Structure 1
Amino acid sequence: MWKVWVFLAPLCPICQDYTFYLNALYEQWEEEYPGQVEMVGWFPNPTVTDEQIAEFADRYGVEWTLAADSLGWSDSVEAKWTPEAFLVDPAGEVQYRGRVNDLYYALGKHRAKPSKQDLALAVEQALTGLEIVPERTDAIGCPIERRISARD
């Protein structure tokens, strides 16, 4: 099964704005590719609580899986931003990473509506057997906060 991972932060306004688009993509994929795409929103900041995640889901009408990134997926794929999207193939290899779409073109600067649907295109290409182009785009968002260990 293909996986779409989106790294999120509950207080990031860009993540909040993108939930509308992510919810629409989830519904589209459930209809067009039933059972072929699993979508997960990971919260990599170690201080985010389950209550904050539940409140985020409630406030933004999220019906796809949201969870704390307790397994360190953000580290394994070297995610740097929220929101940052990854398309992972059934073998566990990242095939796309970057923005959901081009709504935001710089921090605090956005279009009225996106003109490029990068994540949707990558999923469509993958599930129809086409080459994924582009494989990477630049995500715009809030930096992922990571816990610094004593040895760092």
Structure 2
Amino acid sequence: MLRKLYLLIIVMNCLHVNAQTNDSVFSVTTLSAIMLLNANNNQSGYFLNPTSEKPSVFIFLSPECPLCKNYSSTLNTLYQQFKNRVAFYGIIPGKAYSSQEIKAFSSNYQISFPLFIDSNKIVSNYLQASITPQVILLDEKHHLLYKGAIDNWAVSLGKQRVKPTQFYLKDAIEESLQNELIAIKRTKAVGCKINDY
């Protein structure tokens, strides 16, 4: 009986470690081996620089999602503020949008950071993104620092505050750059579900 209990504890610990690893540490080798289409120049290539020693922000967007459109200005501001110290990657998951639609979205909302088309949702699935807009901040070793909403402006679909009072992504970036503990590591992203096609 004691031996069975001991084996059960070992199995449970292994399952816990695997779940933790899959959700909090990502492989730079895996990410840097993924080829995506660059929406800005229609060229396919390795989108991630494996030698970068910067934290990385992955921003999952949909050209037709109202919240993605509404957050474009905030995201552009964050990019301009941190682009020299943080790598930004805009990711458009799925095959629902043509490159022309994505270019129009980028142009209309003056997206200043690079946009990549993740047509097979390889990056989206690997980083376990499920909503647009959703952001994921990894440190230079690809440990998860923050995942969730950009800020707390959107309470739910169709319901927003007058203005945000908590700036989750900005705070997480600043804390990481100052080598401080991230105060808020997870929030629930509000937006459009990433499609399955």
Residue 21 of structure 1, CA deviation: 0.6
Kept in 2, the 8 Å contact 1:48–1:68? The answer is no
Q: Is the 8 A contact 1:53 1:67 kept in 2?
A: no
> Which residue of the other structure, out of 84, 89, 97, is the alignment partner of 2:139?
89
What are the superposed Cα offsets for residues 120-149 of structure 1, whole Å, 9 maximum, x if unpaired?
A: 0000010100011211011100000023xx
**Aligned amino acid, residue 79 of structure 1:** A
Greater helix fraction, Structure 1 or Structure 2: 2
> Which has the higher relative contact order, 1 or 2, with Cα contacts under 8 A spaced 6 or more apart?
1
Contact 1:9–1:45 (Cα < 8 Å) also in 2: no
Aligned CA-pair RMSD: 1.2
Aligned position for 2:73: 20
The equivalent position to 1:62 in structure 2, one of 89, 111, 114, is 111
Larger radius of gyration: 2
Give, in whole Å, the separation in 1 of the partners of 2:183 and 2:172: 7
Given that 1:95 and 1:135 are in contact with CA atoms closer than 8 Å, whether structure 2 keeps it comes out as yes
Identity %: 33
Match of 2:191 among 128, 131, 141: 141
Unaligned ranges ≥5, structure 1: 148-152
Residue 6 of structure 1 corresponds to 59
Report the number of matched residues.
Answer: 143
- Alpha-carbon distance between aligned partners in 1 of 2:94 and 2:143, rounded to the nearest angstrom: 23
The DSSP-based 3-state class of the residue aligned with 2:69 is: helix
- Residues 72-107 of structure 1: CA deviation (Å, up to 9, x unaligned): 111011111000000011122221100001110111
TM-score normalised to the size of structure 2?
0.70
Greater shift after overlay, 39-48 or 96-105? 39-48
Within 5 A, what are the aligned runs for 1:96-107? 96-107=146-157
Q: Give the gaps of 5 or more residues in structure 2.
A: 1-53
Amino acid at match of 1:142: C
**1:108 equivalenced with 2:161 (yes/no):** no
**Residue 45 of structure 1: how far off its partner (Å):** 2.1
With the length of structure 1 as denominator, give the TM-score of the two structures.
0.89
Q: Is the partner of 1:136 in helix, strand or coil?
A: coil
Deviating above 4 A after TM superposition, structure 1's stretches of 4 or more consecutive aligned residues are none
